[in-house]
Amino acid sequence: MEMICITCPKGCTLKIEQNNDKLIVTGNSCPRGVVYAENEIFHPMRMITSTVRIKGASIARCPVMSSVPVPKEKMFDVMKVIENTTIEAPVQCNQVLIHNICDLDCDLVATRTLKKL
Amino acid sequence: MIKKDLVIIGAGAAGLSSALAAYQNGVEEILILEKEEDAGGILNQCIHTGFGLHTFHQEMSGPAYAQKCIDLVEQTPIEIQTSTMVLSVSQDRVVTCSSSKYGLQKIQAKAIVFATGCRERSRGAIQLPGTRPAGIMSAGTAQRYLNIDGWLVGKKVLILGSGDIGLIMARRMTLEGAEVVAVAELMPYSNGLPRNLKQCLDDFNIPLYLSHTITDIKGHHRVEQVVLSQVDEKLQPIAGTEKVFDVDTVLLSVGLIPENSLLEDAGAVLHPRTKGPIVDERCMTSIEGIFACGNSLHVHDLVDFVYAEGQRAGKAAADYLHQIQPADKMIDVIAKGELSYILPQKLHPSDTKLFYRVKSPLKNCTIEISCNNQIIRTLKKPALIPSIMEEITIKKQWLDECDGPLVVEVKA
Ligand SMILES: Cc1cc2nc3c(=O)[nH]c(=O)nc-3n(C[C@H](O)[C@H](O)[C@H](O)COP(=O)(O)OP(=O)(O)OC[C@H]3O[C@@H](n4cnc5c(N)ncnc54)[C@H](O)[C@@H]3O)c2cc1C
Ligand code: SF4
């Protein structure tokens, strides 16, 4: 089987062979490709990026991301929480906004520094 | 008149990295001019991750990457003037700009770096048929509205063009609750990165119609329907293949064009293919002391390459200011065969790199570098696609022996 590693923009084409329970991955340029292939076959995971409302900053939305990839089928659950979140300026890039979002062992972090006006 | 060693136009990734490199190479008075309220450029609206693996060894969102660059600049005496629009630049390097804070200013620069980014092709540029209702805009405009201002521009969306911005907006709008009914692409292949096809379309079962285009848009005040038709090899619509979609929004992701109106007015020679200036390996344009980098030189898909190009331009500007001259000999670089373009178009003999893109997806490629019909080097590539920029390392000694243009040809 072939798949494209989406972990980084390099987008390596991974070749995957199944040997009993073990996967043999080739074509990856770094070890993260192997982790990606294993996840993609057994439980696909995705990073989430979005924005939350912010009050008191120069712009209306603060960009956010999940600290780690979340199960693909939980993406819309996380989006629902994000949609209902409003924060106050100031916010620091990498600041945790929500701990353990949807009990997924994943935090929601800000990806931009926005000063208070 | 204000005097500066180096004026940089644009505070995106290219402008910021060129300023840092110039500073690290000993340039003292550096001023960056930026028309927006915040530095960072297009990165500020690219909230997805996938930035910075090469430069900062971590995966960041666009705004986080921009922040990192801004933080580095703020640790130096480099000055950034935001909300300042550059209006014109003359051949003798006088920059005229206007800002709410300082009014109209004229600045005499010893060297200038253009890092003005690119703009999106519009509806006019691709001659879209149909009525002109509200609800048609470029994907980048929709991205800015959504990610910075918080406005979702539509509920049922069709995207024309499969460039990365279109693909990323397909996912983004789906996650925000809109329904993206289709992405249509005129060419028989996508112009987007393979990873974006997978994580933006396949993940959400959004269909990609290759070899399709819009043949009609209906609606009075707002878009109501869009008609897609398949196209033949000559890219002409085939009658009888029409598919009708009920949508309220059409996003155009039909290509980016380097923003060079100021540079062109200053008299720099542009390249017909890249739409950016013709440069040498120092990123110097046809005007002495004026450099260009980033998306205003040629459209990039990875910010790390933009950053690296900014660094080269900044270092070259520093060398120029310190009167470090390259060799007298100048060699033209000519792209042949399946190459869409190659950059730089001129070289002084030095250890350097060439950057190129192919016109269409190719397998089992041979790249021949030759001079006066003498092959200098032959390289092999298993596959090349237009959405990925490739590089070739060039050695000074090859160029020392050249007595004519360097020809680079890609054969499938
Ligand atoms: C939608 C999108 C998604 C992308 N996704 C990725 C990705 O996932 N990973 C990745 O690595 N890269 C990605 N890229 C590519 C990369 O981020 C960009 O190519 C890069 O940030 C461009 O930097 P730049 O400095 O050349 O241009 P810009 O960021 O556009 O900066 C140009 C600046 O010049 C200013 N300017 C222009 N004219 C004037 C004037 N007359 N006076 C004053 N200021 C002026 C503008 O306001 C702007 O701030 C993406 C690009 C886009 C558009
Ligand atoms: S294997 Fe490594 S280098 Fe290749 S796409 Fe995946 S993360 Fe990137």
Q: Write out pLDDT tens, residues B27-70.
A: 999 999 999 999 999 999 999 988 887 777 777 899 999 999 99
**DSSP code of B36?**
S
DSSP, collapsed to helix, strand or coil, labels residue A99 as coil
Average pLDDT, whole number, for chain B? Answer: 94
CATH number of the domain that B47 lies in?
Answer: 3.50.50.60
Sheet with strand A2-4: strands edge to edge: A2-4, A13-19, A22-26
Q: How far is A47 from chain B (nearest CA, A)?
A: 8
Q: What would the mean pLDDT of B211-222 be, rounded to a whole number? A: 95
CB B252 within 8 A of CB B168: no
A97 exposed, middle or buried (CB, 10 Å; 0-12, 13-18, 19+)? middle
B198–A contact, CB cutoff 8 A: yes
Calpha distance B142→B249 (Å, rounded): 10
- Identify the pLDDT of residue B131: 82
Task: Note whether B109 and B39 are same-domain residues.
Answer: yes
Same domain, B248 and B130: yes
Residue nearest (by alpha carbon) to ligand 1 atom 31: B12
Give pLDDT, residue A59: 94
* Together in a domain, B248 and B132: yes
- Percent over 70 (pLDDT), chain A: 100
B384 close to B362: Cβ distance less than 8 angstroms:
yes
Backbone angles phi, psi at B134, to 5 degrees: -70, 160
Do B51 and B76 sit in the same domain of this protein? Answer: yes
Per-residue pLDDT tens over the stretch B259-318: 999 999 999 999 999 999 999 999 999 999 999 999 999 999 889 999 999 999 999 999
Answer yes or no: is B182 within a domain: yes
Angle at B143 between CA B357 and CA B242, to 5 degrees: 75
Q: d(Cα B134, Cα B250) in Å, to the nearest integer?
A: 9
Q: Is B389 exposed, middle or buried (0-12, 13-18, 19+ CB in 10 A)?
A: middle
Task: Assess whether B162 and B59 both reside in one domain.
Answer: no
Q: Given phi > 0 = left and psi -120 to 50 = alpha, else beta, which region is A102?
A: left
Q: Do B74 and B20 share a structural domain?
A: yes
Domain count, chain B: 3
Task: Retrieve residue B115's tokens.
Answer: 């890092």
Angle at B197 between CA B192 and CA B203, to 5 degrees: 160
Given a cut of 70, whether residue B124 has pLDDT beyond it is no
Of the candidates B274, B294, B321, which is a domain's last residue?
B321
Express each pLDDT in B318-364 by its tens digit: 999 999 999 999 999 999 999 999 999 999 999 999 999 999 989 99
Structural contact between residues B214 and B243, judged by C-beta atoms closer than 8 angstroms: no
For residue B125, the model assigns a pLDDT of 66
Cis status, amide bond into A9, omega within 30 of 0 = no
Q: In the 8-state DSSP scheme, what is residue B329?
A: -
Residue B336 in domain: yes
What span, in angstroms and rounded, lies between the C-alpha atoms of B219 and B236?
A: 24
Q: Do A111 and B47 touch (CB under 8 A)?
A: yes
The secondary structure of residue B198, as a DSSP letter, is I
Per the CB < 8 A criterion, the answer to whether B355 and B390 are in contact is yes
Asked, for residue B74, whether it belongs to a domain, the answer is yes
Q: What's the pLDDT at A19?
A: 82
List CB contacts (< 8 A) between A63 and chain B.
47, 61-63, 147
Q: Does position B21 have pLDDT exceeding 90, yes or no? A: yes
Among A49, A93, A113, select the one facing B49 at the smallest CB separation: A49
Ligand 1 atom at minimal distance to the Cα of residue B13: 25
- Give the end of a domain, one of B252, B281, B306: B252
Name chain B contacts of A54, Cβ cutoff 8 Å: none
Instruction: Answer yes or no: do B244 and B285 share one domain.
Output: no
pTM, whole model, 2 decimals? 0.91
Distance CA(B81)–CA(B76), nearest Å, equals: 14
Handedness of CA B31, B35, B38, B44 (dihedral sign): negative
Tokens of B78: 């480099």
Q: What residue ranges define each of the domains in chain A, with the CATH number in brackets?
A: 2-43 (no CATH), 49-110 (3.10.530.10)
Task: Decide if B83 contacts B100 (C-beta within 8 A).
Answer: yes
On whether both B247 and B140 belong to a single domain, the answer is: yes
Rounded to whole angstroms, the Cα distance separating B31 from B172 reads 36
- Residue range(s) defining the domain that contains residue B391: 331-411
| Helical (H) or strand (E) element with A51 | strand A49-55
Q: Is the CB of A11 under 6 A from ligand 2?
A: yes
Quick one: tokens of B191? 């112009």
DSSP calls for B106-125 = EEEEEEEEE---EEE--HHH
How far apart (Å, rounded) are the C-alpha atoms in residues B305 and B185?
26
Rounded-to-integer distance, Cα B263 and Cα B277, Å: 8
Stretch B222-248: mean pLDDT, rounded? Answer: 96
**How far lies A24's CA from each of A2, A28, A43, A57, B358, in Å?**
12, 11, 17, 49, 32
**Are residue B341 and residue B219 in the same domain, yes or no?**
no
Q: How far apart are the first and last CA of chain B?
A: 56
**Rounded mean pLDDT, A67-88:** 96
Q: Which residues of B touch A75 (CB under 8 A)?
A: 175
**CATH code of the domain in which B402 resides:** 2.60.40
B129 and B112 assigned to the same domain: no
Residues B161 and B216 in one domain: yes
Query: Which residues, in sequence order, are bridge partners of residue B290?
Result: B112
Kindly state whether residue B326 falls inside one of the protein's structural domains.
no
